[in-house]
Amino acid sequence: MEEGYIIRLINMGKTFRTDSGELVALDDINLDIREGAVQGIIGLSGAGKSTLVRCINYLEIPTSGKVLFEGRSLGEMSRKEVREARRRMGMIFQQFNLLEQRNLLRNVTFPLEIAGVPKREAKERAEELLQLVGLSERSGNYPSQLSGGQKQRVAIARALATRPKVLLCDEATSALDPKTTEQILSLLRRINEELKVTIIVITHQMSVIEAICDEVAIIDHSHIAESGPVSEIFHAPRTEIGRRLILGEGNRNLDFANGRKLRIVFDGRKAREPVISDLVLSCKIPVNILFANTRQVEDEAVGQMIVELPDSGEEAEKVCAYLRSKGITFEEVK
Amino acid sequence: MQLSQFVGMYLAESWATLYMVLISSTISYAIGIPLGVILVATEQGGIAPCRIVHGILGFITNIFRTIPFLILLVMVLPLTKLLVGTTLGPRAIIPPLIIASAPYIARMVESSLKEVDAGVIEAAKSMGASNWQIIRMVLLPEARPSLYVGAAICITTILSYSAMAGFVGGGGLGAIALNYGYYRYQTDVMLIAVAVLILIVQLIQEFWMRLAKETDKRVS
């Protein structure tokens, strides 16, 4: 395995043949995923991210390029070897996909039964995992008796049963409410830290990326628009789609403001300084705050704010010069 | 005829009916389940898509389901003779019953298996399950309650087919109804036979529906 990358996608593409012609789902995807990292993959719906995650474990077979897992190309493996590789990659889903006719314990032993692990050993392992996700008392219950968050925790326990190196999460929190989402994300973070499992998170929510990912790839129209460490992309998105995803809902509701707008980004240090007050006091120019929020990104308080600039070009330039002099990251948004 | 003779006749013919239904249902399911599994597995988007196999099997099951049972019964008489050595009595009705009901059961099994969530099958695949493991550990167990409901319908249908056995000297309750009610105008004898048939249908229905309900874990 090269340079500690557990998964490498090399010029990977996927084209579906449909009755109405060819549909390019992914084109020329290059992404290296570091062992032990939490890698986020974000995009709007239809961008191709679900296909991308399915190519990683060959549920979808790429039509071009390569997928390397632990240095070996999945395309060069036999069907049996692919199935064995899948056992080293757990997967969880938006709709949980538990077996409705099996109780929780037997849901977790299921992948072990597939792998041919002896019954007793499988049961012990399953009990251990239900303990880990905090559901050991409910091992005799059936999925229909659980809430969404509990179902996802069972699914996580099940995905970890075969001690995988990688956990693929396909919109794993998209069907959950914010509070439950938070619990599931912190469980995933714990799994990453304690069990050293590499986690790949597919989502359309920037908040999920900010909460647990180290690295992020933004996927748009079948391509990777940009990728890198989360804090870097958050501070300075290089693409339109990146900006849109980071601003999220905040940006769409600003149509009432007609003037020029600036997006100001605060890192951990500057979030504690009264930047706007200082700006107004020293420039003697009023600015209109349109949107602001502060979130925690990788243990740092990070914030962003959108302000409307004064109509006069001269005054606007003065504001920009001030921000520049203070070393504050900002950019103009439309 | 004495009352005791009538009772004896009903008991004997009820037994003949149950015998026909039991044997042909068992064999039909032994053929129908694998057929239904293959139909689901080979369809487009299934676990082992194969248009040719799916097309051929689908065509065959449709043909046999289209032929009216009474005609099929006569059509396969030579085959019946070959298989069970006679064209008379309850045994002679079993081969046509199987030929008629196995394709029917296959379609029933197919529709039950199709109810299994595609996401669950995908999850099993992501765990490295082989197609055989998916069939054995996901499709069939997850569809079990629905398969039981299907059994209630299929076995009732087989029972109603078996009542036509009277036309070829097949025996059973249907034969009583036909011989006494149709040929001799003894409506009361026919009505009792019909009543016993209804009772048997009710019992079959009740048994399988209850089993389906008891084993379904989706309701808390």
CATH numbers and ranges of domains, chain B: 3-215 (1.10.3720.10)
A83, A144, A158 ranked by CB distance to B219: nearest: A144
User: Cβ distance A40 to A203 under 8 Å?
Assistant: yes
pLDDT tens digits for range A216-243: 999 999 999 999 999 888 877 888 888 8
| Residue A79: count of CB within 10 angstroms of its CB | 10
Determine the residue of chain B that is closest to A55 in CA distance.
B126
Question: Running DSSP on this structure, what letter comes out for residue A309?
Answer: P
Nearest CA-CA distance, residue B145 and chain A, Å: 9
Look at residue A144 and give its three-state secondary structure: helix
d(CA B119, CA A134): 25
> Taking all residues of chain A, what is their mean pLDDT, rounded to a whole number?
89
DSSP string, A28-54: EEEEEEETT-EEEEE--TTSSHHHHHH
Q: Is A144 on the interface with B (CB under 8 A)?
A: yes
In degrees rounded to 5, what are phi and psi of residue A31?
Answer: -155, 130
Contact residues on chain A for B138, CB-CB shorter than 8 A: 99
- Inter-chain touch B217–A93, beta carbons under 8 Å: no
B117, B128, B219 ranked by CB distance to A115: nearest: B128
Interface of B with A (CB under 8 A): 117, 119-120, 122-130, 133, 137-138, 141-142, 144-145, 215-220
- Distance of CA A73 to CAs A60, A65, A104, A330, B169, Å? 14, 10, 34, 42, 67
pLDDT attached to residue A257: 63
- Distance of CA B104 to CAs B13, B36, B153, Å? 26, 10, 10
Instruction: Please identify which residue in the block is written with the tokens 């993959």.
Output: A41
d(CA A200, CA A167): 6
pTM of the model: 0.85
A97, A102, A114 ranked by CB distance to B128: nearest: A114
Domains A5-238 and A248-333 share a fold: no
Nearest CA-CA distance, residue B41 and chain A, Å: 16
- Inter-chain touch A83–B130, beta carbons under 8 Å: yes
**Helices and strands (H and E) in chain B: how many:** 11, 0
* Domain parsing of chain A, residue ranges: 5-238, 248-333
Interface A-B, measured as beta-carbon pairs within 8 A, has a size of 81
Contact residues on chain B for A103, CB-CB shorter than 8 A: 217
Write the CB contacts of B105 (distance below 8 Å, at least 6 apart in sequence): B28, B29, B31, B32, B33, B35, B36, B150, B154
- Inter-chain touch A87–B130, beta carbons under 8 Å: no
pLDDT attached to residue B105: 97
Q: What is the pLDDT along chain B (220 residues), one digit of tens a residue?
A: 678 888 888 888 889 889 999 999 999 999 999 999 999 999 998 999 999 999 999 999 999 888 998 889 889 989 988 988 888 877 888 899 999 999 999 999 999 999 999 999 999 999 999 999 999 999 999 999 999 999 999 999 999 888 887 777 777 888 888 888 878 888 888 888 889 999 999 999 999 999 999 999 987 5
The mean pLDDT of A273-281, rounded to a whole number, is 83
Instruction: Please identify which residue in the block is written with the tokens 């399911």.
Output: B29
The correct answer on CATH 3.30.70.260 for the domain covering A248-333 is yes
Half-sphere exposure of B70 (CA within 13 A, CB side): 5
pLDDT of residue A271 exceeding 70, the answer is no
A82, A93, A103 ranked by CB distance to B123: nearest: A93
Q: Is A110 on the interface with B (CB under 8 A)?
A: yes
User: Cβ distance A29 to A9 under 8 Å?
Assistant: yes
pLDDT attached to residue A289: 85
B126, B216, B220 ranked by CB distance to A145: nearest: B220
pLDDT of residue A313 exceeding 90, the answer is no
A93, A103, A114 ranked by CB distance to B129: nearest: A114
pLDDT attached to residue A334: 67
| Residue A177: count of CB within 10 angstroms of its CB | 11
The pair of structure tokens assigned to A39 is 């890698």
Contact residues on chain A for B128, CB-CB shorter than 8 A: 82-87, 111, 114-115, 162
Nearest to B28 by CA among B88, B73, B78, B95: B95
pLDDT of residue A139 exceeding 90, the answer is yes
CATH assignment, A5-238: 3.40.50.300
Q: Is A101 on the interface with B (CB under 8 A)?
A: yes
Write the CB contacts of B119 (distance below 8 Å, at least 6 apart in sequence): A93, A95, A97
- Inter-chain touch B138–A91, beta carbons under 8 Å: no
User: Cβ distance A92 to A148 under 8 Å?
Assistant: no
pLDDT tens digits for range A63-115: 999 999 999 999 999 999 999 999 999 999 999 999 999 999 999 999 999 99
Q: Is A5 on the interface with B (CB under 8 A)?
A: no
How, if at all, do strands A288-297 and A64-69 pair?
Answer: unpaired
